[in-house]
């Protein structure tokens, strides 16, 4: 990624969120949404912009499940692993997606398009099994429905 592009993006975000210490997380969230992950360069520039240490920014970024410090697929598929979805045969959804994408849970496809992850309760317990693809939430899944949804992300 070009440093200038990153800096321009950061400028925009600071303009919107402000430069106080409590704006770090919203800025990280927006950078993650744009770039898909928060790499070393991004972390360093955020630290410089806010005038805090890189370790401090990294410790925040690495705390939250939805912030990635390593590169992931363009689309991160998160399957709910909470008990209510488990009772509604979440395992079949996982099996179908693993074999469709040719990866196991926790892995990313070679073309960097899809990553497969677990997430905890998504609040769809009465309509499970459920999953998220990036920010989009899906419930009432069947194996074929889950595959169709995932493949619709190009």
Rule CB under 8 A: is residue 149 a binding residue for another protein? no
Map the footprint of another protein across residues 33-62, applying CB under 8 A.
59-60
Q: Which residue has the tokens 């200038």?
A: 4
**Quick check: bond before 129 cis, omega within 30?**
yes
When binding is defined by CB under 8 A, the residue of 5, 7, 18, 64 that contacts another protein is 64
Please tell me whether residue 24 adopts helix, strand or coil conformation.
helix
Contact 114, 77 (CB under 8 A): yes
Residues in contact with another protein, total (CB under 8 A)?
36
Cβ proximity to another protein, 4 vs 120, nearer residue = 120
Cβ proximity to another protein, 74 vs 81, nearer residue = 81
Q: How far is the CB of 111 from another protein (least distance, A)?
A: 25
Cβ proximity to another protein, 137 vs 147, nearer residue = 137
When binding is defined by CB under 8 A, the residue of 87, 95, 99, 112 that contacts another protein is 87
Rule CB under 8 A: is residue 121 a binding residue for another protein? yes
Contact 96, 143 (CB under 8 A): yes
Packed helices 90-101 and 143-151: angle between N→C axes, nearest 10 degrees:
40
Please tell me whether residue 6 adopts helix, strand or coil conformation.
helix
154 burial level (CB within 10 Å; 0-12, 13-18, 19+): exposed
What residue ranges bind another protein (CB under 8 A)?
21-26, 28-29, 59-60, 63-67, 81-84, 86-87, 91, 119-128, 132, 135-137
């Amino acid at each position: 990624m070009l440093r200038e592009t990153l800096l321009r993006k950061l400028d925009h975000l600071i303009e919107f969120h402000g430069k106080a210490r409590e704006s770090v997380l919203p800025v990280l969230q927006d950078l993650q949404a744009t770039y898909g992950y928060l790499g070393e360069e991004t972390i360093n520039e955020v630290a410089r912009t806010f005038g805090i240490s890189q370790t401090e920014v990294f410790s925040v970024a690495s705390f939250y499940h939805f912030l990635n410090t390593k590169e992931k697929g363009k689309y991160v598929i998160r399957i709910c692993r909470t008990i209510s979805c488990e009772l509604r045969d979440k395992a079949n959804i996982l099996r179908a997606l693993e074999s469709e994408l040719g990866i196991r849970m926790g892995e990313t496809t070679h073309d960097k398009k899809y990553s497969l992850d677990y997430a905890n309760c998504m609040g769809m317990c009465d309509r499970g099994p459920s999953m998220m693809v990036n920010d989009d939430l899906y419930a009432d899944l069947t194996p074929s429905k889950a595959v169709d949804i995932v493949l619709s992300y190009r």
